[in-house]
Chain A
Amino acid sequence: GQQVMQIPQYQHVQEGEDFTTYCNSSTTLSNIQWYKQRPGGHPVFLIQLVKSGEVKKQKRLTFQFGEAKKNSSLHITATQTTDVGTYFCAGPYSGTYKYIFGTGTRLKVLA
């Protein structure tokens, strides 16, 4: 079945350093969504990418969707302690409404 993997699984950075998480799907995705989940919280929607090669920015966050629509990345510039949490990508399975979430990247930011 369809799988969505993320690397790295964990990342510890010093405050101010950059951070990148990569998302790879075994199948082509019609769109990809990114979510952030704080410890003890629920996933919160960050952004959706739809077009091949699309790049979107939200302040210090940059999201990319691969040309083949099978991979995506999230880059955070100059991390802050408020960026702590687990970042998940998610994509629909074969044009259905069944969303497959990635394995997640847990980010810790050391002050």
Chain B
Amino acid sequence: DTGVSQDPRHKITKRGQNVTFRCDPISEHNRLYWYRQTLGQGPEFLTYFQNEAQLEKSRLLSDRFSAERPKGSFSTLEIQRTEQGDSAMYLCASSPRGSYGETQYFGPGTRLLVL
């Protein structure tokens, strides 16, 4: 299957610990998004990459969150000093090259639980 993959699928951590999630987009998709989704809510935008450049970042992201896409392929999202409020599903999506507003293909997500 050549869809978007995310690792790990589940993560349980203690408050104050750092966690890192990985997203592998569909091959040759140059656009990559990170979202956070809590129960009963729609996905909430976190950040956007075009190739390796981080072009958009939500103001909702505190200094504890950082994302990278070093070679324009896979991406990582790191949360430092996790808090219970960080518990959510973290979704990654990728889009192909093309005109503005392309389809976003979502991965299965990483479910984070902070104890």
Hey, which chain B residues are within 8 Å of A45, CB to CB? 103-105
- Interface hit among A61-69, A72-80, A100-108: A100-108
B25-45 vs A, Cβ < 8 Å mask (1 yes, 0 no): 000000101010000111111
B105 nearest in chain A by CB position: A45
State A42–B50 Cα separation when bound (angstroms).
22
Closest residue of chain B to A99, judged by CB? B45
> Given the complex, which residues of A lie within 8 Å of B56, measured CB to CB?
96-98
A97 near B48: Cβ-Cβ < 8 Å: yes
Contact of B91 with A43 in the complex, beta carbons under 8 Å: yes
Asked if A101 and B43 make an inter-chain contact with CB atoms under 8 angstroms apart, the answer reads yes
- Hey, which chain B residues are within 8 Å of A88, CB to CB? 42-43
Please, which residue of chain A has its CB at the minimum distance from the CB of B3?
A42
Question: Is B72 engaged at the interface, CB distance under 8 Å to the other chain?
Answer: no
Question: Does A30 touch B at the CB level, under 8 Å?
Answer: yes
Determine which of B50, B58, B106, B109 lies in contact with A98 in the assembled complex, contact meaning CB atoms within 8 Å. Answer: B58
A107 to chain B, nearest CB (A): 14
Q: What's the minimum C-beta distance from A65 to chain B, rounded to whole angstroms?
A: 12
Which residues does B use to contact A, with CB under 8 Å? 31, 33, 35, 40-45, 48, 50, 55-56, 58, 91, 93, 100-101, 103-109
- A/B interface sample: 16 pairs, CB < 8 A: A31-B100, A33-B101, A42-B91, A42-B106, A50-B101, A90-B42, A92-B100, A92-B101, A97-B56, A98-B56, A99-B33, A100-B45, A101-B35, A101-B45, A104-B40, A104-B41
